């Protein structure tokens, strides 16, 4: 993969695994972006360029994108999961913060980067969404809603950026073994295996990537019938509550 990549949230979890796997696959350069660049210090490869980037900060997005003027593929990975309910005093605040990171963050990147990608030959923009964005899995109801917004944005970007030759790729993982899903007592796939499957999918030219066994099973049910998928999730929630 001899390309110039950018990964948001590159300091830990899936973003770190994607960065390492890009390096393993011979990427020319990777812009590793994180809110605190000190958390990227152990990425010692010469091909790594560290960037400070909070995706909710328009000024940081502007200056990071200016610095990454040769980028060809973007992994919009940074994400936040807070809310476990739709009732209670913190619901709106948490839902808004999730939207800021999971939806407005990728939108800000697209707004700034689409022209850059066009100048660099079309480019590719990869959104890390979630199966929960296809059918709400209400262990994390407002997070899932923000990922549904991201899924919708991914579809729009795919159509609107086709004219410049950009590939827009949606990734829909199931549970990954990272800090985000620490509290969930369910089987999870390692971040490294998910990163490998994502990059395999990108290299194979897939538009929608389901990078683990849970996600593939979820996709089968969703593609057969979104309503069946919703009922299966409802049954799973009932079983978990019993
Ligand atoms: N874990 C799962 O089960 C799962 C399943 C499906 C999809 N996903 C998605 O996969 C992606 C990676 O998640 P993960 O599992 O690796 O979670 P994680 O371990 O919690 O890591 C989240 C990453 O996002 C960064 N981040 C959060 N807010 C940010 C902001 N405002 N600006 C820039 N970076 C920010 C974090 O940086 P800090 O260290 O600075 O907080 C961290 O690098 C997310 O989009 C997530 O929604 C995860």
Q: What is the CATH number of the domain that holds 46?
A: 3.40.50.720
**Residue 70 lies in domain:** 4-241
pTM of the predicted protein model: 0.98
**pLDDT tens digits along 120-164:** 998 999 999 999 999 999 999 999 999 999 999 999 999 999 999
* Ligand 1 interacting residues, C-beta cut-off 6 A: 8-9, 11-15, 34-36, 53-56, 77-80, 101, 128, 130, 173, 175-176, 178-181
Cα dihedral 180, 196, 130, 69 sign: positive
d(CA 7, CA 113): 13
Task: Ligand 1, residue 143: give the atom nearest the CA.
Answer: 47
Rounded to an integer, the average pLDDT of 81-99 is: 95
pLDDT in tens, 16-57: 999 999 999 999 999 999 999 999 999 999 999 999 999 999
Cα of 237 vs centre of ligand 1, distance in Å, is 24
Percent of the chain, pLDDT > 70? 100
> What are the φ/ψ torsions at residue 2 (nearest 5 degrees)?
-85, 70
Q: How many domains does the chain have?
A: 1
User: Does an H or E element contain 237, and which?
Assistant: helix 226-241
The one-character DSSP state at 55 is T
């Amino acid at each position: 993969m001899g390309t110039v990549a950018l990964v948001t949230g590159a300091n830990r979890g899936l973003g770190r695994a994607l960065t390492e796997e890009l390096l393993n696959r011979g990427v020319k350069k990777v812009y590793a972006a994180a809110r605190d660049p000190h958390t990227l210090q152990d990425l010692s490869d010469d091909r790594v360029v560290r960037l400070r980037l909070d995706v909710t900060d328009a000024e940081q997005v502007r200056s990071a994108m200016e610095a990454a003027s040769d980028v060809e593929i973007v992994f919009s990975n940074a994400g936040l999961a807070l809310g476990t309910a739709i009732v209670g005093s913190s619901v709106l605040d948490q839902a808004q913060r999730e939207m800021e990171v999971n939806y407005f963050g990728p939108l800000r990147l697209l707004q700034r980067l689409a022209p850059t990608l066009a100048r660099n030959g079309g480019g590719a923009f990869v959104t890390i969404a979630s199966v929960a964005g296809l059918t709400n899995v209400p262990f994390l109801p407002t997070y899932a809603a923000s990922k549904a917004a991201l899924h919708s944005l991914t579809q729009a970007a795919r159509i609107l950026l086709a004219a410049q030759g950009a590939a827009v790729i949606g990734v829909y993982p199931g549970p990954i073994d990272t800090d985000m899903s620490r509290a969930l007592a369910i089987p999870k796939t390692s971040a490294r295996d998910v990163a490998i499957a994502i990059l395999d999918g990108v290299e194979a030219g897939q538009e929608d990537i389901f990078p683990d066994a849970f996600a593939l099973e979820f996709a089968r049910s969703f593609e057969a019938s979104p309503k069946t998928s919703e009922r299966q999730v409802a049954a799973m929630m009932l079983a978990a509550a019993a």
